[in-house]
Amino acid sequence: ADQVICASSRTFCIDLEGELWGWGANNNGELGIPACPYVLEPTHIPGIGGGIIDVAAGSLHTIVKNDHGMIWVFGLNSHGALGLGNTIQHPQPSLLGAE
């Protein structure tokens, strides 16, 4: 692993190719894996590709940045924490600025 990021109930790992993996709690989509309340082993996070350079893991939401400056957000959004202009929960990665 190139980088490991821990939050209250989940863990992310960026591998040497810049791909994102995660495991742990996902009740609010905070892992970015739809229709799965928890993940028991490292699982590739779909929909964001490689080149990941940074991950910010809030208590129930996640923000991911790649080496081209693109930002994906996912998880609980009840107070607009994802920056998408709404309060809808996003259980899979959404590209910030694309909606």
The amino acid at residue 10 is R
**Total number of domains constituting the chain:** 1
- Of 29, 21, 23, 25, which Cα lies nearest the Cα of 82? 29
pLDDT, mean of residues 56-74: 96
Strands 52-57 and 38-44: unpaired
Q: Containing domain of residue 58, as a range?
A: 3-95
Segment 14-57, tens digit of pLDDT: 999 999 999 999 999 999 998 899 999 999 999 999 999 999 99
- Of 93, 95, 96, which Cα lies nearest the Cα of 12? 93
Whole-angstrom Cα Rg for the chain: 12
The amino acid at residue 98 is A
For residues 68 and 24, what is the distance between their CA atoms, to the nearest angstrom? 28
Overall pTM surpassing 0.75 (yes/no)? yes
